[in-house]
Amino acid sequence: MDDEILSEFDEKYVVDQIREEFRLKNIVFPIKKFNLFNKCQWPMPAIIFHLFKIITAVYMTLFTIIAPSSFGKRYFSYITNLSYTVATTYFVFSAIRVVTVEVLTRGPSSSLVDVHGNKTNSSSELLNDHFKNDPKLIMLKISIYIEWMARHLGYCGSLVVAVCYYSLEYNTKSTSETTYLDINSHILISFVIMVDLFLSASPIKLLHFVWATMAGSLYTLFTYIYFRMYDEVLYYTIFNWRDPSMASLYFLIITIFGSLLCTIFLYFCYLMRIFLYNKWRQFKKNKSNL
C-alpha cells in the first residue's frame, strides 16, 4: 500500500492551518500535492474508486445530453440544471484524470515518467520547481484548475439548490408529484456529491466561497434580464422580480450567505474526512509496531 500521506492538512496544527486558509492566495487554486486530485482518501481497491468516478461521469453526461431534448429549450435557464451540468463537468474531468494516472502508473515499478523522460515514484514530484515551466505541466495544472473550480461550483450549487428547492419552491408547484428530474437533479446528485467528498482526497478551500458567490450573482442577474425580456419568472419564490425587494432579499440570503454557509459545511466535512484518515493512519502505524 502506498505510504504517501494523502493530505495537505496536519491536525497537530489545526488552528494555524485554518488561519492559513484565509490568506488571499487561497482564493485561487494553490496546488500543493498533485496526487490528491486523482486518488482515493481511503485504502480501498483502486478499481472501486475508478468505477465510481467512471460510472458517475458516464451517467451524468448521458443525462445532461438527453435531458434538454426531453424537458425543452428552457432547460438551461434553471440553476438546478446549470449546477448539475457544472457537476457533470467536474466528474468527467476527474474520471479522465484518475484513469489516465492509473494507466501511467501501472506496471511493476509503479513509477511515472515525467515530461523529460525521468522516472519518479510519486506523481506529486512532477510539481517541483525543476518542471514548473514545462508546457505539459502547465496544461496539467490548468486542467486541475478547471476541475477544482467545477467541483466547488458543482458541490455548492447542487447542495444549495436542493435545500432551496425543497424548502421554498417545491410547495409552489402545480402538482405535488415528485418527478424523475426532481430526484435526479436534487436528491441523487446531493448524495453522489457527499460520497465523492468523503472518498476523494482532493482538498477544500474556505475562500472558494467567493467563486460560488460570483456564480450565484451572475445567475441572479440572468434571472432579472430574463424577466425583463420575456416578462416571465423562472422561480416564483426566490427570484420573483415582480417583487424586487423580496427577490433582492433572497439574493442576499441564498447567493451570498448560502454560498458561504455551504462552503463552511463542505470544509468541515473535509476536516472530518482528514481527521478520520489520520486516525486510520495512526491505527495502522500502532498495529505495525506491535
Would you place residue 118 in the very low, low, confident or very high pLDDT band (cuts 50, 70, 90)? very low
Has residue 221 got a pLDDT over 60? yes
Task: Give 278's pLDDT tier (boundaries 50, 70, 90).
Answer: confident
Model-level pTM?
0.86
Residue matched to cell numbers 402545480: 174
> Helices (DSSP H) in the chain: which residue ranges?
14-20, 46-71, 79-105, 135-164, 180-182, 189-199, 209-230, 244-250, 259-288
CA distance 169 to 243: 16
* In the chain, domain spans: 11-167+184-288
Q: How confident is the model at residue 123 (pLDDT cuts 50, 70, 90)?
A: very low
Amino acid at 242: R
**CA dist., res. 123 & res. 105, Å (int):** 9
Q: pLDDT tens digit string along 20-47?
A: 888 888 898 888 888 889 889 998 898 9
Contact 89, 83 (CB under 8 A): no
DSSP state of 248: H
pLDDT at position 58 over 90: yes
- Contacts of 275-282 with C-beta under 8 Å, sequence gap 24+, read 275/11, 277/6, 277/7, 277/41, 277/42, 278/7, 278/11, 280/42, 280/43, 281/5
Decide which of 84 and 3 is more confident.
84
55-87 per-residue burial string, b: 16 or more CB within 10 A, e: under 16? ebbeebbebbeebeeeeeeebebbbbbbbbbbb
pLDDT of residue 115: 34
CA angle in degrees (0–180, nearest 5) for 234-236-238: 90
Measured CA to CA, the distance from residue 119 to residue 99 in angstroms comes to 19
- Cα(246)–Cα(249) distance, rounded to whole angstroms? 5
CA 46 to chain centre: 20
Q: Higher confidence at residue 234 or residue 105?
A: 234
How far CA 150 is from CA of 44, 51, 156, in Å, comes to 26, 20, 10
